[in-house]
Amino acid sequence: MIIDGSYGEGGGQILRTSLSLAAITGKPLQINRIRAGREKPGLAAQHLTAVRAAAAICHAQVKGDALGSMTLEFVPGNFVQAGSYTFDVSEALPGGSAGALALVLQTILLPLALADGDSEVTLRGGTHVSHSPSITYIEQVYLPMLQQMGVQAEVELKAWGWYPRGGGEVKLLIRGGSISGINLVERGDLVGVRGLAVVTELPSHIPQRMAMRAENLLREAQLKANVQPLRAKGVAPGAGLFLTAEYENTLAGFGALGRLGLAAETVASIACEEMLRFHATGAALDEHLADQLLLPAALASEKSEYQVAVVSRHLKTNAWVIEQFELAQVTVDEVEKKVAIAPVIKQTIK
């Protein structure tokens, strides 16, 4: 199997989806021009850790697993093995890294969920960093939605890790089983919005200001909201606001990270504006979840269909990767903003 890493949006999702499917199917994989669409192409610390994690769970032989590498050969050596694993993004880069551990998590989660037996995975690195799902999003939105598809997994945040220090840690528990399809064309009414305004190594008034601003903005939009301020322990200063919108049939998540010079109220406004834009679409899935549910739907035992807020380039690229492995047919209706996934018979899955 040869995958062009520059296809479509040319980012790390091509690598992660390819690694997951290579581990599951046992198909040898070669990826060329990895992350060619990025300012710094090739494998960064979090991508390199994802490669090594995928290799560990299926005893793969790997060539090209080095920082900056744009070509990778990955040959699975065995069935995916459930068990206890530890993967640390900081070990991939001299001096450490705050690379997103959620990206490593998403690479190995589904292979382990389809394996025989239970797994416990310790992940270290960045837990809440830009351009990647936060662990709060994973915990509050992604995993609960996967549970609707039969995937039994839970994550526990042990330590917060922000850019640029990292130092975060999570425990991931996965019970092996099977995956069922999902139908989310209608999201239903909004039940409510819950949120977390959190800081580490910063004064307690900052999360209180973020929480108050978020609740006020959402109340003005006539939405029920409960945002809890939290001053947590961490190895370095960090701040963020994370919102989860609960609808009758689905969940959606939004967030914003603080940085030096950005007022607490502005952080809250960014997250709330993102949430309100999504709410106005009437769609079932937010932009990120629309992409993230493609792979489990492709591995499910029956068809799936869902409506999305945005047909992103990311989503279309991920659909292309899945179809290269001939495990499912993905149909994207850009007018109706609906995605249909029809899995094929899983005779090729190890």
Which residues make beta-bridge pairs with 62?
Answer: 74
- Does the annotation list 208 as a binding residue? no
- How far is the C-alpha of 291 from the C-alpha of 285, rounded, in Å? 9
- Does the annotation list 291 as a binding residue? yes
Say if residues 99 and 89 touch (Cβ distance below 8 Å). yes
- Does the annotation list 228 as a binding residue? no
The DSSP H or E segment spanning 314 is helix 313-324
- Does the annotation list 13 as a binding residue? no
Catalytic residue among 47, 128, 279, 314: 314
Q: Is 47 a catalytic residue?
A: no
- Does the annotation list 268 as a binding residue? no
- Does the annotation list 292 as a binding residue? yes
- How far is the C-alpha of 153 from the C-alpha of 140, rounded, in Å? 12
Using alpha carbons, list the distances in angstroms from residue 15 to 18, 54, 111, 223: 5, 11, 15, 39
- Residues designated as active site: 314
Residue ranges of the binding site: 106, 288-292
Residue ranges of the binding site for ATP: 106, 288-292
